Amino acid sequence: MRTVAVDPKGAAAGAVRSAVNKATEVAGAAADAATDRVANSGLDRHVSRMTENLSDTVKTVTEDLVTTAFDPSRDQRNNQPS
């Protein structure tokens, strides 16, 4: 009778790789289906506008953060009560 050596760590790593690959496939399929539904429902224009608004907001916040980080006195002057 022949004995087969089993590498538990290798077997576990292979199982994890397989599960990750399957999860990636499922997530990709779900993303594709969601994209198709948005495109078919006419929401793509609305989503585009929302994305643009979000982008503008992030840009403004980032600019404010950088300004405050490099010139905190300027931010304090701008926030003084009138």
Domain co-membership, 20 together with 47 = no
Q: Answer yes or no: is 68 within a domain.
A: yes
Residue 64 located in a structural domain? yes
Same-domain check for residues 67 and 79: yes
Condensed to tens digits (0 to 9), the pLDDT of residues 28-69 reads 888 888 878 877 887 777 878 888 888 889 999 988 888 888
Question: What's the domain range around 65?
Answer: 43-82
Assess whether 34 and 63 both reside in one domain: no
3 lies in a domain?
no
Domain count for the chain:
2
Task: Tell me the residue type at 66.
Answer: V
Burial class (CB in 10 A: 0-12, 13-18, 19+), 68: middle
pTM listed for this prediction:
0.43
- Please indicate, yes or no, if residue 4 is contained in any of the structural domains: no
Cα–Cα distance for residue pair 49/56, rounded to 1 Å: 11
Distance CA 25, CA 1 (A): 41
Question: Does 1 reside within a domain?
Answer: no
Q: Which residue has the higher pLDDT, 22 or 78?
A: 22
